[in-house]
Amino acid sequence: MRSYLEDLENCELCEWRCGVNRFEGEMGICMLGKPEVASTTLHPAPPQSYTVFMAGCNFRCLNCQNWTIAHHPMQESTIIGEVRPEILAEEAVKRLNSKRASLIGADRIFFSGGAPTPSLPYIEKVVEEARKIDESVKVNYDTNGFLTESSLERVIDISDSITFDIKAFEDGTHRELTGAPIEPVLRNVRILAQKSVEKIWEFRYLLIPGVNDDEVRGLAKFLSEIDEELPLNFLAFRPNFVLENYSGIQRRKLEEAVEAATEAGLKNVDWSGMPEVSGRMKKNVRSIRNGVGCCETKRGCGTCESKLNCPVKSYVPDRRT
């Protein structure tokens, strides 16, 4: 019988397509071995859920909110570790049937991170085991969009809802923030919207002042040309990780983004989060990441000489908002 983890012997789950054997200690961009659970919790944020945070990520975002999880194992962090799929499935179903879950309206397992894609085979097995216990169990999958078309099909197959984070619209900005190209992300936006629009909970766009806020109209036009009913939520940037001292977004900018996206043709736009968190300085993002030792040129983590000794993944900020 084929093991659900055989994909990790030649890992091509995400668009980096590293092809490494994670069982033998070979490292791709995510630098992960076997999938590990970072933490679990009943979570009241929509969609209300039993949220499973998976350790690790295939992006190296300068503004990462969950940096201790995303940059495991290079960061010192307390995580749960390896959990047998049937054990996690049993716990998830039990918690979803609890009184607290009922009080907050939690009705699904929500896989997040970091990024869950490097752990996709494990997640599929957890879902399979959970539906053996309760065939009505719902699943939400949170993606950064940087997965292969084959992996996206697998995500669609197991999910009842999908939250899709778009970090930027222009390739240069996306590379600056994440270290990855934008094209696979936009390709997967199209695939998901055209094939399984009913499973889209929302697209999310973290609005960073002076970085990606001037790309709102372009993104909204791109989405509206696919389907003007696609839901778009602007998240309020607040200082975190390498951008710990960068200025937070102002409420006015969020409201302007909603207006601009609506004018560009989208009909289902809103914003959420905590605006107006102050930063102690405002600098060019490239100068900030150069200052922590990231490359001087355009970011491209897949070909970077320091990809396995990354100063971004090992950075420890002085504060967390």
pLDDT at 321 over 60: yes
Work out the average pLDDT over 299-318: 94
pTM, rounded to two decimals: 0.95
The total of other beta-carbon atoms located within 10 Å of residue 91's CB is 16
Out of 57-61, 130-134, 276-280, 315-319, pick the least confident. Answer: 276-280
What is the model's pLDDT at position 281? 63
Give per-residue pLDDT as tens, 142-199.
Answer: 999 999 999 999 999 999 999 999 999 999 999 999 999 999 999 999 999 999 999 9
Please give the full DSSP string across 264-311, using - where no structure is assigned: TT-SEEEEES------S----HHHHHHHTT--SS---TTT-TTTTS-T
pLDDT per residue as tens digits for the range 236-263: 999 999 999 998 999 999 999 999 999 9
Query: Cα(252)–Cα(303) distance, rounded to whole angstroms?
Result: 39
Among residues 129, 115, 133, 148, which one has the least CA distance to residue 13? 148
Task: Reply yes or no on whether the pLDDT at 279 is more than 90.
Answer: no
Q: What is the pLDDT of residue 284?
A: 86
Average pLDDT over residues 96-118: 97
The sheet with strand 161-165 has its strands ordered as 37-43, 49-54, 108-112, 138-143, 161-165, 200-207, 231-236, 268-272
- Quote the pLDDT of residue 1: 47
- The yes-or-no verdict on residue 2 having pLDDT over 80 is no
Residue 130 clears pLDDT 90, i.e. is over it: yes
Q: What is the pLDDT of residues 35-78, one digit of tens each?
A: 999 999 999 999 999 999 999 999 999 999 999 999 999 998 88
Helix (H, G, I), strand (E, B) or coil at 202: strand
Predicted confidence (pLDDT) per residue in 196-234, tens digit: 999 999 999 999 999 999 999 999 999 999 999 999 999
Supply the mean pLDDT for the chain: 95
**pLDDT at residue number 168:** 98
Per-residue pLDDT, averaged over 276-299, amounts to: 86
Q: How far apart are CA 297 and CA 213, in angstroms?
A: 22
Indicate the Cα dihedral angle 281, 283, 287, 291, nearest 10°.
0
Distances (CA, A) of 164 to 71, 94, 110, 128: 20, 27, 13, 22
Whether 155 contacts 147, CB under 8 Å:
yes
Alpha carbons 248 and 260: distance in angstroms, whole number: 20
More confident residue, 280 or 102: 102
Give domain 6-291's CATH architecture.
Alpha-Beta Barrel (3.20)
Q: Which residues pair with 50 in a beta bridge?
A: 42, 109
CA atoms of 272 and 251, how far apart (whole Å): 10
Q: Which residues contact 304 (CB under 8 A, 6 or more apart)?
A: 179, 295, 310
pLDDT at 278: 81
> What residues does each domain of the chain span?
6-291
